[in-house]
Structure 1
Amino acid sequence: MNANNLFQTAFFIVVLIGLAIPLGRYMTAVLDGSSVVVRKIGRPVEHLLYRLAGVDPEAEMSWKHYALAVLLFNALGALAVYGFLRLQQWLPANPQAFGPMTPDAAFNTAVSFVTNTNWQDYSPEQTVSYLTQMMGLTVQNFLSAATGIAVVVALIRGFARHTTQTIGNFWIDLTRITLYVLAPLAIVVSLLLISQGAIQNFRSYQDVPTLQVTTYQVPKTDAQGNAVKDAKGNPVMQDVKADKQTLAMGPVASQEAIKMLGTNGGGFFNANSAHPYENPTPLSNFIQMLSMLIIPAALCVVFGRMVGDRRQGYAVLAAMTIAFTVAVVGEISAEQGGNPLFTSLHVDQSASALQAGGNAEGKEVRFGIAQSGIFTVATTAASCGAVNNMHDSLTPMGGFVPLLLIQLGEVIFGGVGSGLYGMLVFALLAVFVAGLMIGRTPEYVGKKIESFEMKMVSVAILLTPFLVLVGTSIGVLSPLGTGGIANPGPHGFSEILYAFSSAANNNGSAFAGLSVNTPFYNSLLGIAMWFGRFGTIVPVLAIAGSLANKKRIAATSGTLPTHGPLFVVLLLGTLVLVGALTYVPALALGPVVEHLLMTAGH
């Protein structure tokens, strides 16, 4: 970790926090309806949408009604995306005449985009039409992100309100978040990316001449596709001249913007944010990293303002920032240190004026190790899953960091909405542990935390480890699971563990060495994605309803302050002890063993 890497990390964090605070203020005003944008500019459009949908803007929902609305809305979204993927060959805006996805791949993709996972086990530029990209996938990028924000806002209302049965109206929350937060930000980020060279068009794919003509030989075939052989039975070879390359086109910048802002992940191209049409320059890379984390960071500010104590939001933001910084330092240090096997061969991997040094495999030269390292941590601390370098090429400890961040539940900033409600669940657990230590009923933000809340906290925290570890066990025990491993040994185990961790925690990134576009993985990972998302949302909304129904209690001398350094340490300790230790045996079998083998010279 040299001075340049430290400066880039510090600069990124300062800019992120500096932008998140005013955005948090704006979002609070939007969500409570006090913003000028809501009251005077958007009200006609908003009310027209409510009339068309038959929504009463004055009616509020209980937590059960809110949860039912979330589940039904997203189930319909999954059906819509599945329909686009299966019928795209008959739909317009398909200049490459792509055919339908297989049923299992369409199921996996539909669930993936509805759950904010955006796991892609196919090459988008070779599989999905422009219409499907825009009307199916990009629309869900907006709606899945808005769903996550709506759920955390409902939870915050549970803390802010007292002696009431309602936690807001899902349809109003969804509409306002989409109209006044996600859409305007996506337009701004799209234009910024276009200014840097990201493409945005509807052209057919372009054939361009290559700078160098390459000639190679392939076996000759007859009209039926059978290999032609000579008299001795050897295949007859023929020369093939490669003098052109096909460049994929499409509405890339618009999808790129919301995939980052909504922490959706995925990409228009298979190479994702390592592709020059998606992420052309170091500045576009910086914009994308900020886009991933700015809304999750701003929601901490929203939390503090809505509960009436801004210090509460800043305490959570401080915990997230500290954990993020530690993760970035660990990631960049692991990658900058390089591979000791090369050192034993007298290869200099140190950074100097002539070379960047470190492990450059799988990284774009235009970003380097620092920007690749920050991006890797940002995309796995958030539930984004976009990548600007290949995680399969990371050092063992470089792969350990993003894998652990995903397994923590992606609460270090986390996904839009899901990161904060995940961290607040850990906050409830932290005050419960503190209450046990002093023999006092735990309290958080003026609400007593009792048995019902702790039961729901237990479900929310334990569900994803259950999905990850059971799914990984099935994967490594089944020939259908191990058949897709490209790298045997501990790295192959890490590939399966990473896949199920990414799916159940709705991240979407992958180690990329595992072939998962099979009915086995498409079905199993799709199930993990669905229950990882909505199996957590339902108990979170149950907590919101229970808290909203409670009376607010005044702080006393025995109340644990939850806005100072002591609580930040307690929260981080709970996160590490409960979130990380669950996965220690699995991590020991994967990246830890691989690291020990590497340092031993194997």
Structure 2
Amino acid sequence: MTVQGWLLILVFTAIVVALVKPMGAWLFALYEGRRTPFHFVLGPVERGFYKLAGIDPNAEMGWRRYALHMLVFQLATLLFTYLVLRFQDVLPLNPRALPGMSPDLAFNTAVSFTTNTNWQSYSGETLSNLSQMLGLTIHNFLSAATGIAIAFALFRGFARRQTSGLGNFWADLTRITLYLLVPLCIVYTLFLIANGVPQTFASSVDATTLEGARQTILLGPIASQEAIKMLGTNGGGFFNANSAHPFENPNALTNLVQMLSIFAIGVGLTWTFGKAVGNTRQGWAILAAMLLLFLGGTAITYWQEAAGNPIHHAIGLAGGNMEGKEVRFGIAASSLFAVVTTDASCGAVNAMHDSFTALGGLIPMFNIQLGEVVVGGVGAGIYGFLLFALLAVFVAGLMVGRTPEYVGKKIEGREVKLAVLAIAVLPLMILGLTALAAVLPQGLAGPLNKGPHGFSEILYAFTSAVGNNGSAFAGLTAATPFYDGLLGVGMWIGRFFMIVPALAIAGSLAAKQHHPESAGSFPTTGPLWIGLLVGIILIVGGLTFLPALALGPIADHVAMLHGQLF
């Protein structure tokens, strides 16, 4: 570990904290439906959408109607993307005459981008420009906007009193896309282009190498895809090497900005929540808990990667673990990126997690297994975190013998049951599907490595899919009907079996009265509350996944210490 490495981590954290209030204020304006500076230009576009679709943006929706409209929309866009991928060979903007995807791979990819997972069982270079720009980028915007819309609906559940309305799904989706994601991505795309990221319809360019050989370098509309990939915590790379590719992530500056953009909207939503419930300290308390988990994970990953592999040291290869990392980023920036992308549900990578040390690779996996609530995906992170907050106040209520309350709403049996149901989806699906793949011949044919590391590859794949992250231990051959099917099912359940209970909780809370804090209320803004939140998240994650982690990365680490290779 170096002083420069720790300085990078501290500077990154400071900038993240500085972004919280301005981003939160922007999001709060959209939450309330207020005008923004972009309304002058984009307001007619918004009204045109409503008129064309026959939508009244002021019509309130109860949680069931909100959920139904959201699910039908997701199914429709999934089918659209599936057809684009299947028939890309006969569609335009395919200069390299690429074939259409197989049915199982098209299903997996369509589900992946619909659910904001962006798991890639395919190589990014196998898609046409149309598939990248229309089939995938549409989901990069809309899946991100959907996550933020669900967060807004849950915020309204906490903030409103004795009502059934949670807002309008179509209005939320449209405003978030038009007034937040599109403007940010235009500026971000121009920044990336200025730093050397290509943005062109040209399919490739030929170059002559130093040896005099001819090399074909693929091109395309990369910068625009890269911008929303990061801001929307999507993560699907234009190239197979993702953000390790110099055309996606050319230098140290773009690397820093990409990491910041992964966190920017997620941390802003914590302030928005506090503002929505009338107490911004509530939002800062949530952010403090998130940052504690983030810094802890970063410290462990950086420590392990900087320490290197003792087996390499024994044969005279001193230094940290540079396997699978880009020299232009180094160990500190690669370790930080790995933690950032798995704390959020982004999945973009600038180094190969499969090549990390055993414990260095455990942390990104464990980040996802915690429910991806450490900042998390845009929208998804904060509503997932609030489910743990409900569980935490329930535990606190049991300890002090009082009816639990959170931000003025009594938390009763219905809300706790729904929160537990949503939280339980992740471990049930991750562990169940991993167990299935670990015993069936079709599943065992996937891992590149044997022993604990091979098991880690399987466990990481289902952790990433169900957690809607999208990163991978790249040693797994996942482009098979078996893995395409199971991972696709896991992605769908992991996304929507959490969203629907969250909306049901929002509907239940919105119907309740508000109870002001009293002397008997458990304080939910101080250090005790932050510690309880962190403890609940770690205990639930640790107790659930520790046995599986012991069979994978922990066993791998013990074997490494004893000089054993598989």
Q: Normalised by the size of structure 1, how large is the TM-score?
A: 0.93
SS at match of 1:206: strand
Matches within 5 A, 1:532-543: 532-543=494-505
Question: 1:338 matched to which residue of 2?
Answer: 308
Distance 1:2 1:206 in 2: 40
Change (3 A) 1:36 1:138: closer
Aligned to 1:524: 486
Deviation at 1:40, TM superposition (A): 4.3
Question: Which residue among 445, 452, 462 is the counterpart of 1:490?
Answer: 452
For residues 191-590 of structure 1, the aligned pairs below 5 Å read: 191-212=190-211, 243-349=213-319, 358-590=320-552
Deviation sequence 1:242-279 (CA, Å, 0-9, x none): x2211111000000000000000110000000000000
Contact 1:26/1:35 (<8 A) preserved: no
Superposition deviation, residue 141 in structure 1: 0.2
Distance change in 2, residues 1:255/1:309 (3 Å): same
Shift of 1:38: 6.1
Task: Give the secondary structure class of the aligned counterpart of 2:499.
Answer: helix
Whole-Å Cα distance in 2 between the matches of residues 524 and 347 of structure 1? 40
Q: Secondary structure at the match of 1:57?
A: coil
Report the Cα distance in structure 1 between the residues aligned to 2:38 and 2:211, rounded to whole angstroms.
57
- Give CA-to-partner distance per residue, 1:338-379, whole Å, 9 cap, x none: 001122234332xxxxxxxx1011100110111101100000
SS at match of 1:42: helix
Kept in 2, the 8 Å contact 1:30–1:38? The answer is no
Alignment RMSD (CA, Å): 1.0
User: Does structure 1 conserve the Cα–Cα contact (< 8 Å) formed by 2:323 and 2:355?
Assistant: yes
Letter in 2 for 1:48: G
Give the whole-Å Cα distance in 1 for the aligned partners of 2:549 and 2:124: 31
Q: Identify the residue that residue 17 of structure 1 maps to in structure 2.
A: 17
> Residue type matched to 1:520 in 2?
F
Residues 421-476 of structure 1: CA deviation (Å, up to 9, x unaligned): 01000000000000001111100000000011011111111011111001001101
Which digits, 9 at most, give the CA deviation of each residue in 1:367-397, with x for residues without a partner?
A: 0111101100000000000000011100000
Determine if contact 2:189/2:223 at 8 Å carries over to the other structure: yes
3-state SS of the aligned residue for 1:529?
A: helix
Does residue 133 of structure 1 match 2:132?
yes
**CA positional deviation for 1:35:** 3.1
State whether structure 2 residue 140 is matched by structure 1 residue 178.
no
Q: How many correspondences in the alignment? A: 564
Matched to 2:513, the amino acid is: K
- Letter of the 2:206 counterpart: D
Write out aligned runs for 1:30-69 (5 A).
Answer: 30-37=30-37, 40-69=40-69
Tell me how far 1:37 sits from its aligned partner: 2.8
For residue 245 of structure 1, give the secondary structure of its aligned residue in structure 2.
strand
- CA contact under 8 A between 1:31 and 1:176: conserved in structure 2? no
Larger CA Rg, structure 1 vs 2? 1
Q: Secondary structure at the match of 1:88?
A: coil
* Counterpart-to-counterpart distance in 1, 2:300 and 2:463: 20
User: 1-side partners of 2:203 and 2:335: how far apart?
Assistant: 35
Matched with 2:162 is: 163
SS at 1:18 equivalent: helix
Q: Residues of 2 paired with 1:276 and 1:133: CA distance?
A: 18
Contact 2:108–2:484 under 8 Å retained in 1: yes
Q: Are the counterparts in 2 of residues 33 and 39 from structure 1 also a CA contact under 8 Å?
A: no
Letter in 2 for 1:154: A
Q: Which amino acid aligns with 1:68?
A: L
Shift of 1:580: 2.5
Counterpart contact for 2:36–2:179, Cα < 8 Å:
no
Q: Report percent identity of matched pairs.
A: 56
Give the letter aligned to residue 119 of structure 1: W
Distance in 1, matches of 2:105 and 2:386, equals 34
TM-score by length of 2: 0.98
Whole-Å Cα distance in 2 between the matches of residues 570 and 556 of structure 1? 20
Aligned to 1:149: 148
Alignment gaps of 5+ in structure 1: 214-242, 350-357
SS at match of 1:276: coil
